[in-house]
Amino acid sequence: MKILFYGRLAETLGQEMNLAVEAPCSVATLRQRLVEVEPSAADALASGRVRACIRDTIVPESYLIAPHDEVEFFPPVSGG
Amino acid sequence: MGNVRLELEPFDPAAELGELTRSAAGAGGIVSFVGIARPEGKTGAPVERLFLQHHPRLTIASMREIAGQAASRFGVEVRVVHRCGDIAPGEPIVFAGAAAPHRRAAFEAADYLMDRLKTEAVFWKREDAASGSTWIEPTQTDYADRRRWE
């Protein structure tokens, strides 16, 4: 599964990661898997303010990710 | 939509105001806001550069959504230009302009545009200083300002 990270998340997890995950898996489960892979990202990923995005739509923690979905994780956004 | 743009290079806010003025012929008033990269961070330390990361699709989509809502909510013509990438202190980050038949709608639309761009435009903002880099997120005040429009 291809996973993309933005902002400060990319500093600990890299901009892109390919992770073997048994699909379908929920967003919450994917977060746990990511923490197993990169324990130093636990705090950053656990934040309720980091949202998951699939096919350009923000999805809830219970969302079941399909095998070929690309998942993006967004820290809080800020323009201006 | 030429009136909503993402810019990789420095832009000229005066030219943007000029375009909006020409485009909104017949308007009774125009309000514009220009956000500029500060030379100092919150601690007072000099900032070497601001870096605005954008998303390949969602950044411009978020800008268009916010601009469209401002236009319909206040009955104004809007122009929004936002930088991304590396921004030097003193360079414009954002231009938000609103042209309306009467001033109140233009003031409110510009205010609304900036409150939403600050908290909802899809950018990730980092300040780079000699002492290190800091990712900047909206403050509680920014979120409270956004809620005024709900």
Q: Among B83, B137, B139, B143, which would you mutate to test the A interface (most chain A Cβ atoms within 10 Å of its Cβ)?
A: B137
Question: Looking at the predicted structure, is the pLDDT value of residue B2 above 70?
Answer: no
Nearest alpha carbon to residue B2 among B21, B23, B28: B23
In A, minimum Cα distance to B93 occurs at: A80
| Predicted TM-score of the model (pTM) | 0.95
Chain A residues closer than 8 Å to B125 by CB: 78-79
Mean pLDDT of chain B: 96
Q: What are phi and psi of B79, to 5 degrees?
A: -140, 125
Residues A63-76 pLDDT 10s: 999 988 999 999 99
Test mutation, B4, B117, B135, chain A, max A CBs within 10 A: B135
The 10s digit of each residue's pLDDT in B48-103 is 999 999 999 999 999 999 999 999 999 999 999 999 999 999 999 999 999 999 99
B111 residue type, one letter: D
- Tokens representing A70 are 């690309």
Contact flag A75-B135 (C-beta cutoff 8 Å): yes
Measure in Å the smallest separation between the Cα of B7 and chain A Cα atoms: 13
* % residues pLDDT > 70 (chain B): 99
Rounded to a whole number of angstroms, the distance from the CA of A48 to the nearest CA of chain B is 14
Do B125 and A74 count as a contact with CB atoms less than 8 A apart?
Answer: no
Q: How far is B96 from chain A (nearest CA, A)?
A: 9
Asked if the interface predicted TM-score (ipTM) of this complex is over 0.90, the answer is: yes
Please state the three-class secondary structure of A27-79 as a single string.
HHHHHHHHHHHCHHHHHHHHCCCCEEEECCEEECCCCEECCCCEEEEECCCCC
Res B141: pLDDT: 97
